[in-house]
Amino acid sequence: MDIYSLIKQDHQRVIELFGLLDALEIAAAERTRLFKTLKQELTVHKEAEENTFYAALSDLPEMTDRIEESLEEHVDIEELLEELDDLDSESDAFIAQLRELKEEVEHHVDEEEGVIFPIARELLTPAEADRIAQAMQEERSRLTA
Ligand SMILES: [Fe+2]
């Protein structure tokens, strides 16, 4: 699997979790459990992506600004996750904050898949894209061990 499919798979999992969290009839305990999974997924994704894909791209002058921007978005996402962690998952504040996180993540995903991927496909050879995917998978395993 190349790096683009691998990252898309991660994004898809996160989007699915947001969908499950959106269900109105969801029980508080279930919401808390889903949020913990979402936080874990996003944290691992962020770390693995930064240490492999972003690290490879940030060496390319065409990508420096984009990667800088994406890193800032990762920080915003991390901050929202921390804030959410301190809120009661049944509170209105939690729901509002979760919506903000969802928008932030959706924007990040659109930017990455719509802007960064097309440029990266031109700059990285298929062999490099495979190597980075391999590195990201190893990084994911290390982080979730
Ligand atoms: Fe991402």
Rounded to an integer, the average pLDDT of 7-13 is 95
Task: Identify whether the C-beta of residue 43 lies closer than 8 Å to the C-beta of residue 78.
Answer: yes
CB 6 within 8 A of CB 34: no
Q: How far apart are CA 23 and CA 19, in angstroms?
A: 7
Give distance in angstroms: CA of 101 to centre of ligand 1: 14
| Residue 90 confidence class, pLDDT cut points 50, 70, 90 | confident
Distance CA 41, CA 144 (A): 10
Measure the CA–CA gap between 11 and 39, rounded to whole angstroms: 13
pLDDT of the residue at 98 = 94
Distance 123 CA to ligand 1 centre (A): 18
Q: Which CATH architecture has domain 3-144?
A: Up-down Bundle (1.20)
Query: For residues 85, 91, 97 and 98, what is the CA-based torsion angle, rounded to 10 degrees?
Result: 80
| 28 C-alpha to ligand 1 centroid (Å) | 28
Expressed in angstroms and rounded, the spacing between residue 138 Cα and the centre of ligand 1 is 16
Q: How confident is the model at residue 13 (pLDDT cuts 50, 70, 90)?
A: very high
Q: Is the pLDDT reported for residue 78 higher than 80?
A: yes
Percent of the chain with pLDDT over 70: 99
The answer, yes or no, to whether residue 129 has pLDDT greater than 90, is yes
CA distance linking residue 120 with residue 21, whole number of Å:
32
Distance 53 CA to ligand 1 centre (A): 9
Q: What is the pLDDT of residue 22?
A: 85
* % of the chain with per-residue pLDDT over 90: 86
pLDDT at 24: 65
pLDDT of residue 25: 75
Cα 89 to ligand 1 centre (Å): 25
Judge contact between 143 and 48, C-beta under 8 A: yes
The 10s digit of each residue's pLDDT in 22-73 is 876 778 888 899 999 999 999 999 999 999 999 999 989 989 999 999 999 9
Measured in Å, residue 108 CA sits from the centre of ligand 1 at 7
Mean pLDDT of 77-87: 96
